Amino acid sequence: MKKDALEAQIEKIADLIIQSGSIIVFTGAGISTESGIPDFRSPGGVWTKFDPREFTYQRFVGDIEVRRKAWQFFRAIPWTEVKPNRAHFAVVELEKMGKVDCIITQNIDGLHQMAGNTATRVIELHGTTRFVHCLKCGKRWPRDEIEQWLDQGIEVPMCDDCGGIMKSATISFGQSMPLEETREAEQRSRQCDLCIVIGSSLVVYPAAHMPVYAVQSGAKLVIINRDPTPLDSAASVVVNAGAGETMVKVLEIVKAKAASIRN
């Protein structure tokens, strides 16, 4: 996209934000790549080093060797060391301006909350890697505590209360989506007047239904993603560029326009 065309698209996004009263921000892996978290599906991504078919929920529960390998995968990305980037902080600023109803995220990194978004406004459709829970009694532990167990040589952690199977509090392949979060995300998506997709390929369902619900209910759709998505034709604005650089520019224009309106 040429510079002038890109700037025009960014200004159009800013105008849509100013005009909107209830915005859903829908985020995927592309918003977190600037934080050093690799895109799972891109060349060189996590799934080129680990076979996702090995980590289905059913195999995890049924095979201790799969669990042993899964706990190795648990350490493959230094989740506790990654920090939010400028795209996350831009979303925080939009919330502070009263524009964001909620953030619906496919990500499991917890970076929206770390950046400063209100935790109750963040709907994590695929769970979070910041916690581990027991599948039997539901007890939860912070991730760094379980990392200490692994450092001590425990290869397959088991619940210290009931002896149940422990698992990262993420949604695995073959595992049902969290009912409450999915229901709330759909409801919020159908009620918004603008949905901004940041860094999602929009190919992972049922999460990718959320922007569809928004459009079906009459909301405008903005897509900021490096590569084309299946929903581009339904969007009012599509920007194929990095999340950070784009959101910084969008925020600058939104702030300038908001200030001029007040004056």
255: tokens are 């702030």
The fraction of the chain above a pLDDT of 90, given in percent, is 78
Q: Are residues 19 and 94 in the same domain?
A: yes
Answer whether residue 257 shows pLDDT above 70. yes
Q: Nearest 5 degrees, angle CA 109-CA 237-CA 19?
A: 90
Contact (Cβ atoms closer than 8 angstroms) between residue 240 and residue 226: yes
pLDDT of residue 51: 67
Q: What is the C-alpha separation between 31 and 87, in angstroms, rounded?
A: 6
Please provide the DSSP assignment of the chain as one string: --HHHHHHHHHHHHHHHHH-SSEEEEE-GGGTGGGTPPPTTSTTSGGGTS-GGGGBHHHHHH-HHHHHHHHHHHTSS-GGG----HHHHHHHHHHHTT-EEEEEE---S-HHHHHT--GGGEEETTEEEEEEEETTT--EEEHHHHHHHHHTT-SS-B-TTT-PBEEEEEPPBTSPPPHHHHHHHHHHHHH-SEEEEES--S-STTTTHHHHHHHHTT-EEEEE-SS--TTGGG-SEEE-S-HHHHHHHHHHHHHHHHHHHH-
Closest alpha carbon to 253 in 46, 16, 3: 16
Domain that holds residue 133: 38-76+127-170
Q: Are residues 31 and 57 in the same domain?
A: no
Please give the average per-residue pLDDT across 15-28, as a whole number.
96
- What's the burial of 259, exposed, middle or buried (CB within 10 Å: 0-12/13-18/19+)? exposed
126 is catalytic: yes
For residue 260, what pLDDT band results from cuts at 50, 70 and 90?
A: confident
Q: What is the CA radius of gyration of the chain?
A: 19
Q: Are residues 97 and 156 in the same domain?
A: no
For residue 242, what pLDDT band results from cuts at 50, 70 and 90?
A: very high
pLDDT of residue 52: 65
Q: Are residues 17 and 99 in the same domain?
A: yes
Contact (Cβ atoms closer than 8 angstroms) between residue 214 and residue 195: yes
pLDDT of residue 42: 56
Q: Are residues 122 and 143 in the same domain?
A: no
Q: Are residues 137 and 230 in the same domain?
A: no
For residue 261, what pLDDT band results from cuts at 50, 70 and 90?
A: confident
Average model confidence (pLDDT) across the chain = 91
Instruction: Please tell me the total count of domains within the chain.
Output: 2
Higher-confidence position of 78 and 163: 163
Q: Which of 112, 126, 133, 209 is catalytic?
A: 126
pLDDT of residue 39: 62
- Looking at 170, 200, 233, the residue that finishes a domain is 170
Query: The CATH number of the domain where 109 resides is what?
Result: 3.40.50.1220
Q: Are residues 131 and 30 in the same domain?
A: no
For residue 1, what pLDDT band results from cuts at 50, 70 and 90?
A: low
The 10s digit of each residue's pLDDT in 22-73 is: 999 999 999 999 998 866 555 555 666 666 677 799 999 999 999 998 898 8
Q: Are residues 136 and 204 in the same domain?
A: no
Q: Are residues 57 and 72 in the same domain?
A: yes
Q: Are residues 26 and 89 in the same domain?
A: yes
Phi-psi region of 195 (alpha: psi -120 to 50; beta: other; left: phi over 0): beta
Please give the average per-residue pLDDT across 67-82, as a whole number.
83
Q: Are residues 99 and 14 in the same domain?
A: yes
For residue 211, what pLDDT band results from cuts at 50, 70 and 90?
A: very high
Q: Are residues 211 and 261 in the same domain?
A: yes
67: tokens are 């669990």
pLDDT of residue 189: 98
Query: The CATH number of the domain where 64 resides is what?
Result: 3.30.1600.10
The fraction of the chain above a pLDDT of 70, given in percent, is 92
The 10s digit of each residue's pLDDT in 93-125 is: 999 999 999 999 999 999 999 999 999 999 999
Out of 70-84, 93-107, 138-152, 167-181, pick the least confident.
Answer: 70-84
